[in-house]
Amino acid sequence: MLTKRDRIAAYKQIEELRRRRAANVRTLRDRAQGWTELAQLAGTSVQLLVNIAGPNPTRTIGEHLARKLELSLCLPSGWLDQKH
């Protein structure tokens, strides 16, 4: 059974990964000159990208979506999980 300290540490790691993925999507947006171009390159909707990495995100980038975006954008697997 996990201790309270272990649960808190695991939660902090998950939150850091969530923030890092969103920050990396914003970096990609800046490189692509905006949400519209990034959505076209990624084969997804602008609304989805704004929902996961806009000023007030309402969704998180899960494992499946992260790998799908990386594949669509020809990025190495795990790129969104790393600090850039």
Tell me how far the alpha carbon of residue 60 is from its chain's centroid.
Answer: 7
pLDDT the model gives residue 77: 96
Structure pTM?
0.90
Under 8 Å between Cβ of 8 and 67: no
What CATH number is given to the structural domain containing 62?
1.10.260
Q: What's the number of domains the chain is made of?
A: 1
In whole angstroms, how far apart are CA 7 and each of 4, 14, 21, 68, 78? 5, 11, 21, 28, 24
- For 32: left if phi > 0, alpha if psi spans -120 to 50, otherwise beta; the answer is alpha
Q: Residue 53 is part of which domain span?
A: 4-81
Look up residue 54 and give its two tokens. Answer: 């806009």
pLDDT in tens, 12-48: 999 999 999 999 999 999 999 999 999 999 999 999 9
